Chains A and B, each alone.
Chain A
Amino acid sequence: MSTVRHYHHSFRYSYETSLRKHFLLIGIWAVFIIILLLLAFYFIEPSRALLKLEDLSLTGLTLACFATFFRLAAAYIFALILAIPLALFITKSPRLEKILLPTFDIVQSVPVLAFFPVIVLLFVKVNFFEGAAIFVLFMAMLWNIVFSMVGGLKTIPQDIEAAAFVFGSKGIRKLTTVTLPAVFPYLIMGSLLAWGQGWNILIVAEVLHNYIPGGTQSQDLYGLGSLLVNASYQGKNLPFISALVAMVILIGLMNFFIWQKLLHLAERYKFD
């Protein structure tokens, strides 16, 4: 019998091994990026860099990439942590679902930028500018993950749920051994869409001075979004194009190293 090969050979590990391996890889990359970011911020003062765009160097551009990626990643992690229990809660019972799903549908269609000025002011009061950006990105990303996961939860075959019950998989164990693996493809799709939303909102999220009364460019957060806006505002074409190209390269690298691999891995989790 010929073997049907749907998966790249590097993913032919047991589920537990590949899960550990992938989370370890993600963890190592996260630590690496955070260390680079902290080192870079030590040597460059981001707030002044936005005022002197003509001095933008490759190092400065790389720092902007890391800073932006860090904000998006932080927002994504918070969105994921909230989205999973939210989706599970929504689908807990048909009655709850009838009430909550339309409610959240309405909430998610309210533009997050509509209440961005209020959010910024709240975070400015406690002198936590990064929080404002991360919160807005988080709100933009959250609903894609929630609704994708709700869709995934509703497609888990009844036989699988029955098998989980029969073989004693309950509670948290059922969540980790059956539910989360079963919705993994939907989580990946939702995450892809979430990051797309994040990139969309980025330009606003990093440019805070427009929303602070009497604000100046020094209050913007250093990153690709603020570079694009400030370069455009100052009429500096080279930094603008550099930032744009850097963004495209960053998105391309993410697509190649992260999303394509996750989408390929997700094939293993799909039901026939």
Chain B
Amino acid sequence: MTDGIRLNKVYKSYPTTPEKWAVRDFTLEVKNQEFFCLVGPSGCGKSTVLKLIVGLEKPTSGQVQRPMGISMDFQSGALMPWLTVEENVAFGLKMRGDGAQKIHDLCNKYLEMVNLQHFSEKYPRELSGGQRQRVGIARALAVEPQALLLDEPFSALDSITTDELHKDLLAIWKQTKITIIMVSHILEEAVLLADRIGVVVDGSIRGIMEVSMPRPRKDSDKDFEREAKKLKELMV
């Protein structure tokens, strides 16, 4: 098992008429502990790539190499409404068969990391969109994966909440030193967060851009506009 994530000439089609290629000739290597973003227009195959990486979908051809521990957060949070916040965070740990004390300690640790330690008895319906997203992230981190996949986690949130979560995500990434692959359709978000950005068009990687700006980054920086413009040019 590799530490990084590799996709080698991956193709994925669906049995529709006519046959639809969601991903074609997709080759990508994401290094260990890297923050990588996939951007592209809607329907270009970004989410399908994530599903291939985590194993939700099998490639039609090609190879996918992934680390042992891989976890995912979803756009909607995908929280179980009948479970409390703590039970949602504990979900993966219970499936793994961890002991009660270990589960409790890990839940506390990651709920503190996302600043929701006082919300452990609440149900998802009692939380705001941003809080649900934090719980989703805590659940994904609680299994202590080597890689974390995020499928447009902030697209349903307002800009203020998104800015807060951006800062929190970067802090968590710095603390946990895991590999992150995030899908986004917002170019500015990718420039703000990622080490490298892959542009996906029609199921293939059009190009990869390295973001040379040092962190912390602000969208008011003069270099920011230049990087965002470079990225837009790659997409055209």
Contacts and interface: CB of A to CB of B under 8 A. Distances in A.
Interface of A: 1, 3-4, 6-7, 12, 14-15, 157, 159-160, 162-163, 165-169, 173, 177-178, 181-182, 184, 268-272
Contacts of A268: 81-82, 123
A7 B126 CA distance: 11
B186 interface: no
A269 B143 contact: no
A159 B75 contact: yes
Given A162-B74, A166-B56, A4 B91 contact: no
Contact of A167 (B81, B82, B92): B92
A15 B82 contact: yes
Given A15-B82, A181-B80, A167 B75 contact: no
A47 B59 CA distance: 68
Contacts of B74: 159, 162-163
A166 B71 contact: yes
Nearest 8 A-B pairs (CB), nearest first?
A: A167-B92, A159-B78, A168-B95, A163-B78, A159-B74, A269-B82, A166-B72, A181-B82
Nearest to B139: A167
B84 A160 contact: no
B54 interface: yes
Interface string B19-35: 00000000000000000
A162 B54 CA distance: 10
Contact of B83 (A15, A166, A168, A270): A15
Given A3-B126, A6-B125, A184 B82 contact: yes
Given A14-B83, A166-B92, A173-B95, 15 more contacts: A3-B122, A15-B87, A157-B76, A159-B77, A159-B78, A163-B72, A163-B74, A163-B80, A166-B56, A167-B71, A167-B92, A167-B95, A177-B95, A268-B123, A272-B81
